[in-house]
């Protein structure tokens, strides 16, 4: 009896030792800390994506091989600064894949928005490879990662910096069971995956959170919850030597986000990646590409389609990026280039028509109809509802709307053509802002758009038997503006960028935006004068066109790999002085201007294969064209990449080189 009793006692002790739960948390709630505003990520993205259909209203971008922005429920609503991975051996080094090492990205399927992103650590000889997709049926982002060439003693941690609702402020984050959660107001993010371990913590950004602790090699303090505030979640990944998966699911409640996450996990990561790829392949199967290597052509169409909002058909934003976002506070309310510019819409729709996606072009025209104001004008830009955001008047945008509306007349409802024409006639020809949105006066590019638009209206009125009572017949106004282009804008042997008072021969000062300084207007030339040729207002071999080409090449060009590219104009300040800074600084070379020069070459009967090849080179293995690139290297700056307008120019140029016809030139 004594022996038996002792045995029972020993077993009881053993049972307590074996089954007593280990204390997972240092404390329930992380210590409260005051946290200063955070920032976003660079505008230089190396991957972007969303499912091809409208069912999944979530988008992603990546920067330096790391998931950066996650946009939900609309393409302008950012909710994340990063989901990155941290690598440590627990004693000697700490490696942040979002900021360290050598990052690269390449498209893995020319008919889909699929990428393999890689960050290499040449010192410790390992690489992290990441793929990202969105579930085509629900708002869930799936990240699949794999550590290559690593020693067995390396540990990987996931590090999440949420910015729900467009700012890091006011969030609460916590772990519950095998998942993490972030919520703010009526928005919830649920984080799941197959490799989240119990080594995890919630914390406050920059105040002893997981990132800070891992600089000292381990998570010494682990908190289940943090917030409200600028919070983070960190957890150790158990990859087991193979790939691991992390899913981010959104919803208006915890239950809704969990339900979306459950459904995606039931499909499985490979099922999601396969469906994502298949959706884009089905979309591109209906496109028409020029002969030859059409990889960048297809990808450019996909980039434009990707930038369209799922809940507002036809609302294509200029870019998913916020230029120089890594220098911008996370609480200023600016969505960057995730706005809708009529000018960019016009180019996007023209490119989609050239590629055979007429349905999207019709949606664009309908959205332009929503954007149009009561006076007939088009706003500088709008949100996704068509509500004006910035307040500048740019007459080329109203002209662009006319050109598209006339081209698609009878195929879709769009802006009121007569109202738009009336606005041009009443406010033109001088514009408050030219197409670079900075200077007012008489701009060759704006004049070209106005004249081409009024000519299109005249043809449309004849074709549709419209009778409009005007003080002067439309053709007389067109003729007067056409005959005055040179007196308003042609200075000492070339067209000026803009002449504030229409007196181009005078030494009139012009103030360059973004700290560019004050200069004599006669010193500022701009490649955009070529719109005079593209829109049929002047002939390619007009001596004034040729002399301005020479002036632009001499004063507003630079070189990349011994090939000439162009600045917007001399002394442009819209760019960074050096990597990591932001405007004001120095404007750099714009790839879309290479597209425009190539289009001019086609119209002039010159060789356009070099500009086409240069754009393809600038796009690189990730097939993304940015707003600006650095001189010499051609590498993207911190501005917006990809830029929808640049990809639209590539599509028009590629088709023009193949056919000899510029698809968007007014007939």
pLDDT digits (tens, 9 = 90+) for 376-424: 999 999 999 999 999 999 999 999 999 999 999 999 999 999 999 999 9
At 15, the pLDDT band (50, 70, 90 cuts) reads very low
**In this predicted structure, what is the pLDDT of residue 217?**
82
Report whether pLDDT(326) > 60.
yes
**Percent above pLDDT 70 for the chain:** 96
Is-contact 622 105, C-beta < 8 A? yes
Q: 437, 486, 508, 523: which one is catalytic?
A: 437
Q: Across residues 509-522, what is the average pLDDT? A: 96
Residue with tokens 């030219």: 434
Of 247, 434, 531, 576, the catalytic one is 434
How far is residue 568's CA from residue 556's CA, in Å, rounded to a whole number? 7
Nearest Cα residue to 321 out of 78, 658, 24? 78
Residue 99 has pLDDT above 60, yes or no: yes
CA distance 224 to 229: 15
Q: Does residue 316 surpass a pLDDT of 80?
A: yes
Among 330, 397, 354, smallest CA distance to 40 is for 330
In the annotation, is 576 catalytic? no
Annotated catalytic residue 437: yes
What the block records as the tokens of 184 is 């703010």
Cα 477 to Cα 187, 285, 470, 484, distances in angstroms: 54, 46, 10, 11
If you average pLDDT over residues 137-144, what whole number do you get? 98
Check pLDDT > 80 for residue 312. yes
Query: Which pair of tokens denotes residue 49?
Result: 């994506």
| Residue 19 pLDDT class (50, 70, 90 cuts) | very low
Residue 491 has pLDDT above 60, yes or no: yes
Confidence (pLDDT) at 241: 77
Q: What is the distance between the alpha carbons of residues 549 and 665, in angstroms, rounded to a whole number?
A: 20
Q: What local confidence, expressed as pLDDT, does residue 8 receive?
A: 33
Give the model's pLDDT for residue 4. Answer: 39
Is the pLDDT score of 649 beyond 70?
yes
pLDDT score at 304: 98
How far is Cα of residue 2 from the mean position of the Cα atoms in its chain? 78
**What pLDDT does 32 receive?**
84
In this predicted structure, the answer to whether residue 5 has a pLDDT above a threshold of 50 is: no
The pTM (predicted TM-score) of the whole model is 0.95
Ramachandran assignment for 443, one of left (phi > 0), alpha (psi -120 to 50 degrees), beta (any other):
beta
User: Which domains, ranges and CATH numbers included, belong to the chain?
Assistant: 43-281 (2.70.98.10), 286-659 (1.50.10.10)
The token duo for 210 is 């997981």
Query: Region 255-259: what's the mean pLDDT?
Result: 98
Write down the pLDDT at residue 151.
Answer: 67
The per-residue pLDDT for 112 is 96
Distance CA 572, CA 327 (A): 20
Gap between the Cα atoms of 281 and 285, Å rounded: 6
Mean of pLDDT over the chain: 94
Q: Would you say 521 and 488 are in contact if contact means Cβ atoms under 8 Å apart?
A: no
Stretch 17-39: mean pLDDT: 75
Q: Residue 201 pLDDT > 60, yes or no?
A: yes
Q: What is the pLDDT of residues 278-307, one digit of tens each?
A: 999 999 999 999 998 899 999 999 999 999
Mean pLDDT computed over 245-272: 98
Segment 151-175, tens digit of pLDDT: 678 899 999 999 999 999 999 999 9
Which residue in this structure is represented by tokens 């999207």? Answer: 360
- pLDDT band at 14; cut points 50, 70, 90: very low
> Cis before residue 642, ω within 30 degrees of 0?
yes
To 10 degrees, the CA torsion angle through 635, 640, 645, 647?
Answer: 50
Residue with the two structure tokens 């069971």: 177
**Mean pLDDT value of segment 574-597:** 96
pLDDT above 60 for 31: yes
Task: Give the span between the Cα atoms of 172 and 153, in whole angstroms.
Answer: 33
Closest listed residue to residue 396, CA positions, set 565, 494, 493, 526: 526
Q: Residue 35's pLDDT band (boundaries 50, 70, 90)?
A: confident
State yes or no: pLDDT of 446 exceeds 70: yes
Query: Per-residue pLDDT averaged across 567-578, rounded?
Result: 97
């Amino acid at each position: 009896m004594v022996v038996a009793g002792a045995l029972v006692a020993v077993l009881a002790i053993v049972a307590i030792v074996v089954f007593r739960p280990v204390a997972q948390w240092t404390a329930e709630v992380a210590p409260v800390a005051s946290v200063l505003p955070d920032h976003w990520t660079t505008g230089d993205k190396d991957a972007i994506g969303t499912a091809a259909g409208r069912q999944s209203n979530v988008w992603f971008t990546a920067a330096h091989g790391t998931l950066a922005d996650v946009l939900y429920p609309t393409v302008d609503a950012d909710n994340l600064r990063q989901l990155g991975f941290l690598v440590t051996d627990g004693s000697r080094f700490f490696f942040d894949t979002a900021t360290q090492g050598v990052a690269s990205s390449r498209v893995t399927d020319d008919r889909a928005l699929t990428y393999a992103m890689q960050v290499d650590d040449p010192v410790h000889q390992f690489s992290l490879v990441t793929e990202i997709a969105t579930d085509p049926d629900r708002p869930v982002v799936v990240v699949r990662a794999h550590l290559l060439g690593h020693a067995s003693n390396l540990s990987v941690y996931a590090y999440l910096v949420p910015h729900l609702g467009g700012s890091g402020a006011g969030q609460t984050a916590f772990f519950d069971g095998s998942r993490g959660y972030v919520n703010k107001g009526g928005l919830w993010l649920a984080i799941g995956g197959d490799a989240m371990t119990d080594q995890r913590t919630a914390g406050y950004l920059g105040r002893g959170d997981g990132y800070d602790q891992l600089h000292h090699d381990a998570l010494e303090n682990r908190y289940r919850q943090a917030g409200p505030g600028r919070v983070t979640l960190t957890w150790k990944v158990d990859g087991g030597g193979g790939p691991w998966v992390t899913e981010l699911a959104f919803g208006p409640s915890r239950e809704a986000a969990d339900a979306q996450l459950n459904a995606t996990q039931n499909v499985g990561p490979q099922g999601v990646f396969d469906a994502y790829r298949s959706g884009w392949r089905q979309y591109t199967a209906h496109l028409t590409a020029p002969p030859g290597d059409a990889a960048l052509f297809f990808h450019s169409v996909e980039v434009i389609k990707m930038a369209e909002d799922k809940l507002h058909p036809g609302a294509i934003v200029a870019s998913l990026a916020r230029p120089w976002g890594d220098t911008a506070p996370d609480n200023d309310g600016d969505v960057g280039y995730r706005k809708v510019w009529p000018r960019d819409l016009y180019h996007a729709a023209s490119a989609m028509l050239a590629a055979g996606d007429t349905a999207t072009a019709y949606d664009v025209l309908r959205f332009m109809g929503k954007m149009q104001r009561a006076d007939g004008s088009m706003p500088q830009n709008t949100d996704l509802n068509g509500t004006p955001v910035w307040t500048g008047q740019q007459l080329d945008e109203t002209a662009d709307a006319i050109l598209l509306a006339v081209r698609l007349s009878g195929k879709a409802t769009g802006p009121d053509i007569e109202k738009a024409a009336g606005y041009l006639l009443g406010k033109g020809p001088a514009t408050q802002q030219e197409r670079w949105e900075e200077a007012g006066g008489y701009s060759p590019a704006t004049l070209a758009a106005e004249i081409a638009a009024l000519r299109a209206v005249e043809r449309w009125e004849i074709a549709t038997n419209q009778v409009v009572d005007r003080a002067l017949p439309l053709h007389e106004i067109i003729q007067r503006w056409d005959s005055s282009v040179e007196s308003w804008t042609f200075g000492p042997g070339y067209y000026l960028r803009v002449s504030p008072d229409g007196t181009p021969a005078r030494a009139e000062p012009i103030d360059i935006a973004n700290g560019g300084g004050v200069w004599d207007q006669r010193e500022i030339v701009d490649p955009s004068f070529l719109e005079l040729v593209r829109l049929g207002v002047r002939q390619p071999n007009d001596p004034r066109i040729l002399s301005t080409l020479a002036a632009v090449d001499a004063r507003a060009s630079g070189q990349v790999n011994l090939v000439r590219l162009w600045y917007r104009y001399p002394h442009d300040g819209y760019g960074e002085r050096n990597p990591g800074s932001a405007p004001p600084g120095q404007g750099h070379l714009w790839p879309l201007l290479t597209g425009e020069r190539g289009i001019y070459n086609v119209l002039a009967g010159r060789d356009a294969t070099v500009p086409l090849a240069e754009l393809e080179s600038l796009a690189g293995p990730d097939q993304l064209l940015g707003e600006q690139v650095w001189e010499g290297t051609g590498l993207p700056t911190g501005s917006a990449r990809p830029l929808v307008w640049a990809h639209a120019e590539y599509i028009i140029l590629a088709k023009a080189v193949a056919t000899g016809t510029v698809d968007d030139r007014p007939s």
